[in-house]
Amino acid sequence: MTKERIDQESKYCAANYAPIPVVLERGEGVWLWDVEGRRYLDMMSAYSAVSLGHGHPRILAALTDQAKKLALTSRAFHTDQLGPFLEDLCRLTGFPKALPMNTGAEAVETAIKAARKWGMQVKGITDGNQRIITCEGNFHGRTTTVISFSSEAQYKEGFGPLSPGFDSIPYCDTTALEAAITPDTVAFLVEPVQGEAGIVVPPKGFLREAARICREGNVLLVADEVQTGFGRTGKMFACEHEGVKPDVMILGKALGGGVFPVSGIVATEEVMGVFRPGDHGSTFGGNPLGAAVGRAAIATLVEENLAERAAEMGEVLLQELRKIESPIVEEVRGLGLLCGIELKRSAGRARPYVERLFRSGILSKETHEQVIRFAPPLTIEKKDLLDACRIVKEVLENRED
């Protein structure tokens, strides 16, 4: 069955992914089962989208109950779910306004549009001259605008012409940030922790200093919390580790409870005030089904204290992984339940070790060729986490040549 399904997918799907050779059929909590009945511990949680675990009863109830009543109307009409969802989201984040979308990349595009229009209407920049500062190693999605400021050559190759208006600086370099700001700069778009770059955690004080520079330069601080938000790093939002409140926050993944794409931005009144009917929209954005799921996800995160659990379990994960005595390990780094093991160049790529982990019952993912990424559901129990760390230790300390 495994080979049949993989061959079928390969025949009919464009080869835009290189999945681990497992065909998953069912999930419950932190566990996944393949079509052959084998069980795996999910140490990826769909890049944080399944932070609440697979099939959380509260999320499934919200999904099925709302689906039976009303799933989609478009924003041409009001629904009884959108207002309560947006109020819950704004109360949780501390922002006065939200704009709902579906995927993380859509939310990033929304933030870019908001920043550019704010630059024209509020800052007085001539339309077309607005510039946004981004960081090397960033990952904000794969739309044509977003790949235009990626530092990964493959993400851009063959997809030109690329979108102008972006200036790149090294991640965590506040001196470069200050130097890059011009009268036409509207925003600094940054991940509080870089995920796709290999779980790069900035030094303490970086985000706080970046916020000061942006404030003094009349530049919006736009934090991409799509992966790091909703408890992943041990705080509800990663910016909270520095006591920083950005002007715009980009949200997604875990907001959909692991069952539905829900995303959006939250921002100040001044930023959100630039929008008028017709400026931006989405047929599915803010749909009643997504809104109901989003409300349930927020309530679950808060009531189950999952940010606090991520902080506690994240300490366990990092401590255990740092005990690994292997000549191929360069560094273990992370924040909360977002962790990466960087391998030395001499070890070769991380993919073979990810496949060995898969064969040992652990599902993970390589990133940036040399890093094994771990981001289990925030609901994971300590026993399961310790078992996972034991298996990782065995795989990395017993190299197969």
262: exposed, middle or buried (Cβ count in 10 Å: 0-12, 13-18, 19+): buried
Q: How far apart are CA 35 and CA 258, in angstroms?
A: 20
Is position 224 annotated as part of the catalytic site?
Answer: yes
Which residue among 85, 139, 149, 206 is the active-site one? 139
Residues 6 or more apart whose Cβ sits within 8 Å of residue 240: none
Closest CA to 125 of 178, 166, 183: 183
Residues 6 or more apart whose Cβ sits within 8 Å of residue 253: 46, 47, 48, 49, 51, 104, 226, 227, 229, 230, 263
Four-point Cα dihedral 44, 66, 110, 276, nearest 10: -170
152: exposed, middle or buried (Cβ count in 10 Å: 0-12, 13-18, 19+): middle
* Interaxial angle between packed helices 57-69 and 288-303, expressed in degrees from 0 to 180 and rounded to the nearest 10: 160
Which residue among 42, 88, 224, 247 is the active-site one? 224
Is position 139 annotated as part of the catalytic site?
Answer: yes
Element (H, E) at 99: strand 97-101
Closest CA to 366 of 87, 58, 17, 63: 17
Element (H, E) at 147: helix 144-147
Closest CA to 214 of 193, 258, 245: 245
Q: How far apart are CA 244 and CA 211, in angstroms?
A: 7
Which residue among 34, 85, 88, 253 is the active-site one? 253
The catalytic residue positions are 139, 224, 253
